[in-house]
Amino acid sequence: MKTCAARRRVRCLRTWRLQGTRHRRGSGSGSTCQDRRAGGGQLFFGKKAQTLGREVRRGMIERDHPDLSIGQQCALLSIPRSSFYYTPQGETEQNLALMRLIDVQFLETPFFGVRQMTWHLRNEGHAVNEKRIRRLMRLMELMPIYQKPNTSRPTKGHKTYPYLLRGLRVDRPNQVWCVDITYLPMRRGFLYLVAIMDWHTRTVLAWRISNTLDADFCVEALNEAIYRFGPPDIMNSDQGSQFTSFEWTDRLRRSGVRISMDGKGRYLDNIFIERL
């Protein structure tokens, strides 16, 4: 309905403009209204036409219009004449074959970027350049996985705590909790998953996902776990900046939880959550 109404409005405006042009040619005086400058109708029409979508405006063009050529209609509708004649072309068979090869190789080496993928295809005997591979990988929305972020780096000035689990017998739920952050490789970067687990039962008590490494999403998971199960005796973590932050440690201290942290490079100190 909107398209039909717009089409009728455009036809009325075309007729009005043609009548005005013929009137000016016939009168010979070349005069216009005193309160409107010459060409105002065309300006008004151009502004109105631009409020419609390009596909709608393209649909208004009539190849067999009795008074307006296609070029004139394109000008009235603010559409480049070349775009009216353009027909979108699909990818060639050669490009489709390259895309299949790129897809297979990317599954094997998801860290390959444009340059490495180009070198690989050249070594396979394909005459390609980086510009072409970049366009195809962008079309396929392939984003290489970069080096794994270091999620266990402490922040300078934050207090660290000793490891309390050495020689400790863990024989009941809620005695010791452990927490860790892992990264989830995505097509356009990383997401970060924090999980809190009971050391004795190996049950995940709470988790959150974030696109940043701020401490907020870790504290949210901690609040949920404490709300649902009550505070543990000990919380064990690595020395990551999220777990040495004031927000995290203050929440544990206020709940009466003793804080335990792995030694540097001692991933075995938190082995159960590391294997999750």
pLDDT at 222 over 90: yes
What burial class does residue 68 get, using C-beta atoms within 10 Å of its C-beta: 0-12 exposed, 13-18 middle, 19+ buried?
middle
What burial class does residue 235 get, using C-beta atoms within 10 Å of its C-beta: 0-12 exposed, 13-18 middle, 19+ buried?
buried
Per-residue b/e over 141-162, b at no fewer than 16 CB within 10 Å?
ebbbbeeeeebbebeeeeeebe
Confidence of residue 46 (pLDDT cuts 50, 70, 90): low
Higher pLDDT, 189 or 220: 220
pLDDT of residue 152: 53
Q: Say how many residues make up the chain.
A: 276
Confidence of residue 131 (pLDDT cuts 50, 70, 90): very high
Confidence of residue 258 (pLDDT cuts 50, 70, 90): very high
pLDDT of residue 15: 60
pLDDT of residue 50: 60
pLDDT at 49 over 50: yes
Crossing angle (nearest 10°) for helices 130-139 and 114-123: 110
The model scores a pTM over 0.95 = no
pLDDT at 45 over 70: no
How many CB atoms sit inside 10 A of residue 204's CB? 14
What number of H helices and E strands is found in the chain?
12, 5
Give bridge partners of residue 16 from the DSSP assignment.
Answer: none
pLDDT of residue 264: 56
Confidence of residue 8 (pLDDT cuts 50, 70, 90): low
- DSSP letter (8 states) at residue 154: P
| Residues of the chain above pLDDT 90, percent | 31
Q: What is the average per-residue pLDDT within 81-106?
A: 81
- Name the nearest CA neighbour of 276 among 196, 211, 156: 196
Confidence of residue 125 (pLDDT cuts 50, 70, 90): very high
Q: Is 66 helix (H, G, I), strand (E, B) or coil?
A: coil
Q: Alpha carbon 219 to chain centroid distance?
A: 25
Q: Alpha carbon 274 to chain centroid distance?
A: 29
What is the spatial distance between Cα 101 and Cα 226, in angstroms, rounded to a whole number?
50
pLDDT at 202 over 70: yes
